[in-house]
Every structure is written in C-alpha cells, then in structure tokens.
Amino acid sequence: MHVVRRRSDALPFSRRIISCIVIAATAFTSVFAFNPTQTFAAATNDPLIDQQWGLTAIGAPSVWNITRGAGVTVAVIDTGSGPHPDLDNNLEIGRTIFDPIDIAGMVDVDMKGGHGTVIAGIIAAVADNGIGGAGVAPQTRILPIRVLGTNGDGISDDVSKAIRFAVDSGAKVINLSLGGKDEALPLTKAIQYAVDRNVLVVAAAGNGQADSTPKWPAASDLTLAVTAVSRNNGIASFGQRGDYIDLSAPGVSILSSAVGVFDPKLCPTSSPLFCYSSGTSMAAAFVTGAAALLFAAQPSITAAQVRDVLQRTATDIGAPGRDTTFGYGLVNLVAAFAELDELFPKIITASVTTEGHVGALAVGTTSTSAATATSQWYRCTAPGEATTSKPADCTAITNAVATTYQSTVKDLRKFLRYSVTITSGINNSIVSTIFSATTIPESGAWITTSTLSSKTKTPLAELLRSPSKGLRTFKIVNGSCKLRNSLFVAPAQPGVCTLKVSIAAKAPFPKLGFTTVITIS
C-alpha cells in the first residue's frame, strides 16, 4: 500500500500527499523467508503457479470453472502497470494523472519499482500462457492509472481525478493500494462518486503496525478496507488494527509480476520478472480480484451486494465476529460463490406448449442464465402448477431428455410436464430443478375445427383425427346438422350442432369417445 503523506505543512487540505503502501524491498527478508519446497496444487500450466499460495488460500482456482473474470474491468490507481509479458494481454490503454501531467493513452506507465505492476499481476496476470503465474481473475481487464511518482508519492487531488476517470471509463472495481494519515475531502467525494455509480472501491488498510493511526481512504466507510495475513492466517507483522478494517487477504510472501525490482534475491527466476513482496497493498489486490470474479459471474449484482457477500462469507479467523485485527475474516471465494447461487437462482421459468393429443410434438421452454441445462419430460395423472419439487403423481418418461417430446399412446389422458435441471456452485454441488405447469390432458381423438361455414359438406375423415384404427361412429345429438355418406353437412342457417364421436378399441388404443360442439357460421 502506498501511504498518503503531506508534502509540507503548507499544503491545503484538499492536496494530501499519497504514496503506495508496501513494505520496502530492503525489508522483505525480515518479513518472510522464501521456502522453495512449499508448493500448492497447480491449476494452470503457468510454471510459478505452485508458488502462489494466496490463490489457494482464498479459493480462486476452485471457482475458475465458473468464471475467470471475463467482461469486467478493474482500475489500478497506482504507479502504473506494465508492460509485462504476463500482463500485457489484459492491459487497457492507461492514463497518467500526476500534477501537472495529464496524459491519456499511456501503456508503459509503471514508474516506481513495479508496485502497480505487482498489484495488477495479483489481480489479473494471464493464466495458461506458460508464463509466470496467474491472477485471481486472469481474464479481467486492467485499466492502469498512474498517480504516483518515482519516489512513490503523489497528491490526493490526482487520485480523486483518477477515480472519476476510472468510473467514467467503465471500471467495476477500483484498487487503491495507497493512502495516508489524513482525510482529503475531494478524495472522499470522488469515492462517493464511484459508490453512487455502482463501483466497488477496495483500499489497503496500511502497514503502520498495530498502534498506527488509521490510513485514508481505507478508513472511510465508503471503501472496503483490507489487511494482510500470512500463510498460517496470522496477522502480518506490519498489519494495522482498527474497527475500519473489513477483510483479510494474503499479503506476505506474495509472488507476482514485477518490473524494476530492487533486490533480485526476492525473485525465484533468473530474470526479475516475477518476485515476492509483502504488504496490505497485495492483500487489497486479492480482494479486488475476488470482487471482479463475482461481478463476472453475475453481471446484475451491485457493488453493495459484492461487498456484502465477501464480508458475510469470509472465514472468521480471529475473535468471533468482526474484530479489529482481521475484520470479518479471510476472503473465501468458495463460500462467496455458493452464496451467489442462493442470491441469484439461475432458473427463472419453465413451460410446455402442446396441441394436447397423442402423436403431437410438445415443446419445452425455459428462461435460465445457466450455460448448460438438462431436460426431462414427465407424464402425470393430475394437473398442477409449476413447482420446484417433483409431484408425486408424475413419472419420468424414459429417454425423453430433449427440449421437445412426441407423445405416445402411453400418454393418453395424462398430463405432460417439462423439467429443467442445472448444477452450479463449487464442483456443481448445488442442483436446482423446476417443473413446468401442466396443460390439457393428452387425447387420442380430436376434431380439426370447431367452426364450419353454412351449407358446407366436410368429410368426416377430415373433421376427426385419431391415430387409433378402431371403427368410428358419429351421431348428431343436437342441432340441424346432418350426416350423409360420410359427410358432415352444415345447415343453411347459423347455429350450433352437438356431435358425439366414438372409436372402438383397437390395440394399442382403448375405446375412445367424446362429445363436441360445432359452430355454424
């Protein structure tokens, strides 16, 4: 995290000095000791993935089968990001806002020891490219905005402008791994601008150790403040305390993309393109990546809901409930995605369209956001409304698993239902099914029209349809219509006629019969 400091006591309140919040490179070895024998299960073909303990700690690889963050843009307001071979494919055209410089269209803008590149790499390093490691959300786009100079300092006015630019550019999450001891009102207003436009702002809590005063803007209730933990879920030695801390995330011995590293001993390869660093800056980046995954998985989710889900599903690793050391606890993407499935059911409706007679094609339709869904048709002995549980009177039809179904004699006088099942959640552990409402019962005989013109003669073979080969019998029960030579004769005057139809039993059909009213127009 870069710390906001005063350049001088004469600076106006609106221009607090800001710098990145990170443990100095020369102090890294006292913060952690790299253990090359400790590895983690590989989830990609990236050669350093097994050294990225933080990904496993928050459960990121477990949700990559659901989303990797595609369609979401994250703004990294920092020293700039890249160029870097493991980042370039995910980098948007950036911008430098560093008083008095304001230049759009900057790609290579990282000017301060790679801090912004480290943050961007934790969030969205490209996965499965055979290079380095992977980010939490490896298909998310990064919008790099440089607001810090070569010494890591900047002013809050520039950060304010950067936040507004990020919001107006379509960022869903803004990462602020920077801060200072004083609030700057224009910066708070800029963050409010983001919150009002459904953008989540994540801020590093600070590296001032336990007795340090809260860092801004993390201390603002408008931001999601993140502190750092080690592999064993211990609070980092540099971690601050305070009731403003919302979440914890990995922040010690974090391997990420790097440029301009001071100490190549921190890099596990011969080329210092991937190195270790520690700080609440890194922890904030993990939360930013986690938020990007939630936005990608459910585009209709709000920033407030993302914040709420991350906090409510965090693993409590401190005193019961929210505490001043770990906040709500360690980010847990597995639990967060399970909660997402509860908040946003993927099946909305299921329905059936059918002509209601044997041999006709029934069509099942559904409204679902699930990428894949399975279908099943049922025959039921009673009508019913749509439901999420299988009615007791319904039996699954063997091999009827397409979206269409051609009814058979077995469906005679039965009601059809169409069901859709989806699986979601981690390892497809959540199964959701909806059953359509029934329509009319399936009949074995039907008339082709209920309206005839006066003085017309219609062949009975055209008027009645049935797959049964049984002997047909017709009778006019009421009205002035006539039956002559296998013809239905309509009278000259408008009215109605009641026709009784019987079909003798003929395997596989039983005896069929019905009475219908035909209107003469």
Residue 188 has pLDDT above 90, yes or no: yes
pLDDT at 42: 46
pLDDT score, position 430: 73
Residue 175: beta bridge partners? 76, 202
3-state secondary structure of 230: coil
Looking at residue 251, what is its pLDDT?
96
pTM of the entire structure? Answer: 0.72
Confidence of residue 19 (pLDDT cuts 50, 70, 90): low
What is the dotted CATH code of the domain comprising 446-520?
Answer: 2.60.40
pLDDT at 410 over 50: yes
Is 10 exposed, middle or buried, given 0-12, 13-18 or 19+ CB atoms closer than 10 A? exposed
Min mean pLDDT across 28-42, 358-372, 413-427 is at 28-42
Protein fold of 45-342: Rossmann fold (3.40.50)
For residues 152 and 138, is the Cβ–Cβ distance under 8 A?
Answer: no
Point out the least confidently predicted range of 15-19, 55-59, 372-376, 470-474.
15-19
Residue 39: pLDDT over 60? no
- Condensed to tens digits (0 to 9), the pLDDT of residues 376-409 reads 999 999 999 999 999 999 999 999 999 999 999 9
CA distance 251 to 229: 5
> CA nearest 135: which of 257, 2, 248, 272?
257
Determine the Cα–Cα distance for residues 277 and 413; give it in Å rounded to an integer.
Answer: 71
- Of 50, 78, 86, 110, which one is the catalytic site residue? 78
Question: CA 348 → CA 54, 174, 208, 365, 419, distances in Å?
Answer: 36, 32, 49, 11, 12
Could you please report the per-residue DSSP string of 36-50? TT------SS-TTGG
CB atoms within 10 A of CB 126: 25
CB-based contacts of 31, cutoff 8 Å, min separation 6: 23, 236, 237, 238, 252, 253, 278
185 phi, psi to nearest 5 deg:
-60, -40
Q: Is the pLDDT of residue 9 over 70?
A: no
Q: Is residue 27 predicted with pLDDT exceeding 80?
A: no
CATH of domain 347-435: 2.60.40
Which tens digits make up the pLDDT trace of 278-295?
999 999 999 999 999 999
Q: What is the dihedral of CA 139, 145, 149, 153, to 10 degrees?
A: -90
First to last CA, the chain: 84
User: Same CATH fold, 446-520 and 347-435?
Assistant: yes
Counting residues of the chain whose pLDDT is more than 90, the rounded percentage is 72
Phi/psi of residue 297, nearest 5 degrees: -70, -30
Which of 98, 88, 29 is closest to 262 using CA atoms?
Answer: 29
Query: Which of 19, 177, 253, 281 is the catalytic position?
Result: 281
pLDDT of amino acid 295? 97
User: Containing H/E element for 185?
Assistant: helix 185-196
Q: How far is CA 458 from the centre of its chain?
A: 59
Query: Any catalytic annotation for residue 281?
Result: yes
For the ranges 97-101, 190-194, 323-327, the maximum mean pLDDT occurs at 190-194
Residue 102's beta-bridge partner residues? 97
Q: Which of 2, 46, 84, 115 is catalytic?
A: 115
* Both structure tokens of 481: 């219509």
Contacts of 404 (CB under 8 A, 6+ apart): 361, 362, 363, 364
Task: Name the residue ranges covered by the structural domains of the chain.
Answer: 45-342, 347-435, 446-520
